[in-house]
Structures are given as C-alpha cells and as structure tokens.
Amino acid sequence: MPNTAIAPNQATRLIHILFAIQLVSMGAMEMSGPFWPIHLKALSSSDSLFSFASVAVYVGPMLGIMLTSAFWGRIGDRYGHKLMMIRALLGLSLTQLALAYATDVWTILVLRFVQGACAGYIAPAQAYGVSIESPLRRARLFAYLQVSTNVGSLAGAIAGGLILDHATFFWINFVAAILCAICAIAVALSLPNVAPLKVASPATQPADAPVNAGSLSLWRSSPIFGLLIIIGLLLMSRMLTQAPFALYVRAVLEVSNWVVGLCYGLLAAGFVVSASLWARYFEEKTLSEALCRMIYIVLACITLMAAAGATRSIGVFITIYFAWGILLGATTPVLMSLVSRAADSLQQGRVLGIAQSTVQFSSIAGIALGGWLMQIAVLESTYFFVSFAYALAVIAVLAMRRSQVAVQRS
C-alpha cells in the first residue's frame, strides 16, 4: 500500500523528481561505461592484465551489488529508503572521485568492486517509489524509472565520448563524482521521509528460513524457472559485447570516441522509445502467445547481430544498434512481467528478488565470456558470437512454449 500521508498529486511530483535524479546519476555513471577498456589498455603492463581488467572492471560492481543488496535492503526496510538513496549516491560520488585519481589497474578494480558494494541506487529508488505510488500504477512506475536509466545511459555515453575527445579520462570520473554529489543533495532536500512499507511476505524472511510447501509448489508447477532461463540467456547474449564494444567500434569501423558513445547510447534510446509500446502489446497476451511472439523477436535479434558483424559502414552499424535497442524493449521487461504474473501475490518480493539475482549473474557471465572470446578470437567475429548466443535463447523459448502447449492440452 502507498503511504497515506502522501497525496496523489504530491506523489506524482515526487516520482518526477525521482526520474530526474535517476537520469542524472545513472548518466553520470555511464559517462565512463564504454571507455574503460581504452583507459585500462593504456595503464596495463601486459596483455594478460588487460584481458583480466577489461572484464573485471564491469563484473566488479555487479558482484558488489550481488553480495550486498540484501543487506542494504534490510537496512532500508528498517530505517527508510530515502536514507539508502543518499548513501548510495554518496558512495558513487566518493568512489568516482577516487577513480579519477587512480592510475593503477588493481586500484581501479578494487574501487569498482567497492563502488558496487556501497552503492546500489536503483533498488532503494524503486522501493521509495513503491511506498508512495498506488499499486494500480506500479507497473507504470517501474517502466518510468527504467526509461530514466536508459535516457541517462544515452546522454552519459555521448557526454563521456565528448569529454574524452577533448580532455583526459580523469575528467569523466571527476564530473561524474560532482553530479552524483549534487543528486545526493537533491534527494536530501527535495524528497520527504517516508516510513518504509511493512508487508509480511516470504521476501522478508531470513535466507535460511524453511521454505514452505506453497513455495516449492510454485517452482514445480509454474513457468517461472523456464522464464528465468530465457531471461538469463538473452541478457548473456546482450552483455557479450560489453568488454569488446569500444575496441570493436574504434578498430573495425574507425571512428572517434564520441561516435563510440553515440552507438553505445543508441541501444538505450531504442529501448526508451519502444518499452512502453511493447508492454501494451504484450499486456493481454497469454503466456503461450507471448512466447510465440518472443521467438520472432529473438530471431530478429539474430539477424541484426549477423548484419552488425558483416557491415563496415558506421551508418548501418548505428541503425542496427538503434533497432536492436527497440527489440530489447520487448525482451527482459516483458519476460519480467510474465515472471511476476506467474508468481503468487504473497511471493512477489521473493520471486522478483531471485529474478534480479538472475539478471546480475547473467550479466556477469556475458561480460566474462565476451572478454574471453575477445582474447581467443578475432575482434571482427564478436557479433557472430552474439548471434549464436541468441540462437540458444530461441531453443529455450521453443522448448518452453512446447511444454506450455502440452500443459494446455492435458
């Protein structure tokens, strides 16, 4: 239930503030996103160190989030999610400032892990939004906040490229630190304190609490496990390009840094313009119907990635990346909604928490695999590997749809 002390019109205004703060803070973090391999290559003393660092610089923050998100969530439940937003933004600001002055590869990797461990802004921002928004508008809330993240990703990647074209990598991190500090001040001054929700659900139980029979039945009889496998394969496919992306675009397509940032951000732009449209399209579809249409979407991703690997035209590559972003708007968000629909209302927190863990694990696996492939294969083959990974996802969707058809007939 939303906090009854917050009037509906005030809640709308506060959610707009949340949108702006998340856009700026996530944009600040994405300023450095595409360019870490370039920076690390200049600092690395050997190819083996660069190979490890180019993967670890992305995996480190994700691993930190995985290991600490439950702890910070419990603190937020006890003391309020506004405090956790301020903590996360200050953590981002301080670690970005330290990264600006770091010139040793190992120091950078440690700081990136610490950044993930002490930050994690998105989860408390979502929890704060849930505490003030009507349950009937909750899906719209999550979509709205995800759009802010992706718009920030687009703006941040382009801004980072422009800074790197005219200054050093130091200024990317320094500017990001200042922006995150400003966002922390904005949260403290513009958002009221809201008492955390007190909802009794399996998500609030200790990790070692006994699992009841209903929970076991949920996993045996529902499609949740299969949906999580599909989500994992799709995310792994997407993240294969993370480590080699900047090197690929610069070496194969021979463009400047701001164009690298543009390509990186257009993926987010495609997602932004399509996510709500895809959500409405899939809203009334049954699980079997949704899976059928998902097959065609993933097949389209396979075709686009093959075209991306074959082209040497930056114009074509940019167009492909934007179209890929449009298709991605129909994958993870839609599949997450299917997971939520399949879960019992009393187990939403637990099931969606497991889904978020799947997202982080799959992202780490994709980044690590992409970095490994970058070392053992030619850079030009990157997007053909992505096509192959998407083919595995098609097989998983086909298998799950067949099982759903069999259940419907029985």
Distance CA 65, CA 71 (A): 10
Based on the fold, state whether residues 81 and 26 are members of the same structural domain. Answer: yes
Based on the fold, state whether residues 305 and 182 are members of the same structural domain. Answer: no
Q: DSSP 3-state assignment of 94?
A: helix
Write down which residue in 138, 172, 198 finishes a domain. Answer: 198
Based on the fold, state whether residues 242 and 347 are members of the same structural domain. Answer: yes
Query: What pLDDT shows up at residue 306?
Result: 95
Query: What pLDDT shows up at residue 207?
Result: 41
CATH number at residue 157: 1.20.1250.20
Based on the fold, state whether residues 380 and 400 are members of the same structural domain. Answer: yes
Write down which residue in 140, 165, 198 finishes a domain. Answer: 198
- Give residue-wise pLDDT tens across range 344-388: 554 544 566 577 677 878 888 888 888 888 888 788 889 999 999
In sequence order, the 6+-apart residues with CB closer than 8 A to the CB of 198 are none
Domain encompassing residue 221: 207-410
The pTM of the full predicted model, rounded to 2 decimals, is 0.69
- Give residue-wise pLDDT tens across range 61-103: 888 877 777 677 667 777 777 898 999 999 999 999 999 999 8
Based on the fold, state whether residues 237 and 123 are members of the same structural domain. Answer: no
Helices and strands per DSSP (H, E), number in the chain: 17, 0
Query: What pLDDT shows up at residue 126?
Result: 73
The pair of three-digit structure tokens given for residue 302, joined into one six-digit string: 């396979």
The torsion defined by the Cα of 259, 264, 269 and 271, in degrees rounded to 10, comes to: 160
Q: Taking Cα atoms as reference points, which of 239, 269, 265 lies closest to residue 385? A: 239
> Are the C-beta atoms of residues 380 and 311 closer than 8 Å to each other?
no
Query: What pLDDT shows up at residue 402?
Result: 86
Based on the fold, state whether residues 161 and 219 are members of the same structural domain. Answer: no
R_g (Cα) of the chain, nearest Å: 21
DSSP category for residue 380: G
Based on the fold, state whether residues 124 and 215 are members of the same structural domain. Answer: no
Query: What pLDDT shows up at residue 120?
Result: 72
Based on the fold, state whether residues 194 and 217 are members of the same structural domain. Answer: no
Give the C-alpha distances (Å, rounded to integers) separating 390 from 244, 275, 328, 339, 358: 18, 20, 12, 20, 17
Distance CA 159, CA 326 (A): 22
The pair of three-digit structure tokens given for residue 246, joined into one six-digit string: 């900047």
Distance CA 42, CA 21 (A): 33
Based on the fold, state whether residues 387 and 261 are members of the same structural domain. Answer: yes
Low pLDDT (below 50) residues in the chain: 1, 197, 199-214, 216, 346, 348-349
Q: How many structural domains are present in the chain? A: 2
Q: Helical H runs in 102-168?
A: 105-118, 122-132, 138-166
In sequence order, the 6+-apart residues with CB closer than 8 A to the CB of 78 are 196
